[in-house]
Amino acid sequence: MTTALRVEDVSKQYRIYATPADRLKESLTRGWMKKHREFWALKNISFDVEKGTTTGIIGPNGSGKSTLLQIITGTVEPTHGEVWHEGRIAALLELGAGFNPEFTGIENVFMNASLMGFSRRETEALLPEIERFAEIGQFIHQPVKTYSSGMYVRLAFSIAISASPEILIVDEALAVGDAIFQHRCTRRLKQMQDAGVTVLFVSHDAAAVRALCSRAILLHGGTMVDDGRPQDVLNRYQKIIMARENDYESANQPPREVPVSADDLPAEPVPLNYTFRHGDGTAEVLQVDLLNAAGESVKVVESGEPIRIRMRVRFHAEIDGSIFGFLIRNRHGINIYGTNTELQQVEVGPFDQEEIVEVTFAMNCSLAPDSYSIAVAAHSPAAVSFDWLDGVVFFNVVSEDLMEGVTNLSATATARRVGRARRPNVQTGERAVTGR
């Protein structure tokens, strides 16, 4: 396929000064007095993008995503490396980027269009479509500084797509739009994909990347650490996010030490982290995994995909029996689904001291796209908590299908014609009826 965009060994360095005075001192001494430290926002980034494809650029905050897009669009010069592209680029970068807040919406439309090479006459021809898609009414004649964040992105996105670009770059901005506008933007992006437009899409929304992109590139610390199928790259991205969250939790609440010397356990078990833990210590949860059908640990799950929640528990005392369970919560902390071995009519026990048991719950992940957490517990039949862990696993559910709510009921739709309504006779006061 034809290459639409090539990034070759791109690096970007910024000079960081402790105070404005340090910048002045270095300038006055013509660099003889070095008062800055070097910060490399990007380091040796290289990739090609084929024409007509959609590539997701993902990574934690501060990984260099926005800097890379600014270099591609030409608003920032790289320290080293080159960028080559074929065709017009339209970019929707940080919220309000390229807008003059003192200008009205209409004035900003003409200004942005002129920067993309459109004449005034060409922009006037595009204006009705821009106004129709943005749907901000008479606010388009008001200064942009009076706009809400949603109105900003509506107008900016409308300008970008109306330019009929060969390459479209979208940087996270759609996240501030309401649900209706986001769905409209998604439909328009898919129309542009079908028309052969090359798209670079930056988002923290795993579901959007999974639905829109055929390829994903992961940036971390200014370097490119992965490039491949969205599902695989998103799993690695999720691991980086959770490692950062675990570091934060460890700094504020050191995790409880967990012995892992039993022969049953893997040589290198996944570190156990959690947001809250309680229990009398009779039993101890050693390991919790979210697994796909192939038995691989995952952080991103396709809606409807078979999954397993596996927990391993060690007992520190002899007991007659125990109940094991889990609970899934969404990002708002609302309980979505939970069950346990008692509800599943699975009797487990008795257990000897230091014995380890593995319990697995298998199900289809019939959840709507969102972020979720898993809590697990082991307790006595009398509901005495042995060990309870909140937030022990975090994962994202993604889907190519749009849906509302918290569950995926896999609904199907049918439609049929049932007849034509007869027009009522106004003079006789006859009411309308439906017939075949």
Q: Is the pLDDT of residue 73 over 70?
A: yes
User: Tokens standing for 78?
Assistant: 């790289």
Interval 72-93 mean pLDDT: 86
User: Tokens standing for 284?
Assistant: 């101890």
Q: What is the pLDDT of residues 343-359, one digit of tens each?
A: 999 988 899 999 999 99
pTM (global) more than 0.75: no
> Residue 320 has what DSSP assignment?
S
Q: Is the pLDDT of residue 206 over 50?
A: yes
Interval 195-203 mean pLDDT: 87
| Domains of the chain by residue range | 3-240, 255-398
In what helix (H) or strand (E) does residue 168 lie, and over which residues does it extend?
Answer: strand 167-171
In what helix (H) or strand (E) does residue 10 lie, and over which residues does it extend?
Answer: strand 3-17
Structure confidence at residue 432 as a pLDDT band (50, 70, 90): low
283: nearest Cα among 309, 317, 321: 317
CATH architecture for segment(s) 3-240: 3-Layer(aba) Sandwich (3.40)
- Residues 338, 328 contacting (CB under 8 angstroms): yes
Helix axes 149-162, 179-194, angle to 10 degrees: 10
Structure confidence at residue 248 as a pLDDT band (50, 70, 90): low
Q: How far apart are CA 270 and CA 266, in angstroms?
A: 9
Q: What is the pLDDT of residues 26-48, one digit of tens each?
A: 788 776 778 778 889 999 999 99
Q: How far apart are CA 254 and CA 271, in angstroms?
A: 13
Structure confidence at residue 75 as a pLDDT band (50, 70, 90): confident
**Domain 3-240 matches domain 255-398 at the CATH topology level:** no
Q: What is the pLDDT of residues 141-182, one digit of tens each?
A: 888 888 887 788 788 888 877 777 888 888 766 655 566 677
156: nearest Cα among 213, 204, 216, 91: 91
Say which CATH class 255-398 falls into: mainly beta
Q: How far is CA 428 from CA 422, 423, 433, in A?
A: 14, 12, 14
In this predicted structure, what is the pLDDT of residue 433?
53
User: Tokens standing for 377?
Assistant: 């517990």
In this predicted structure, what is the pLDDT of residue 273?
83
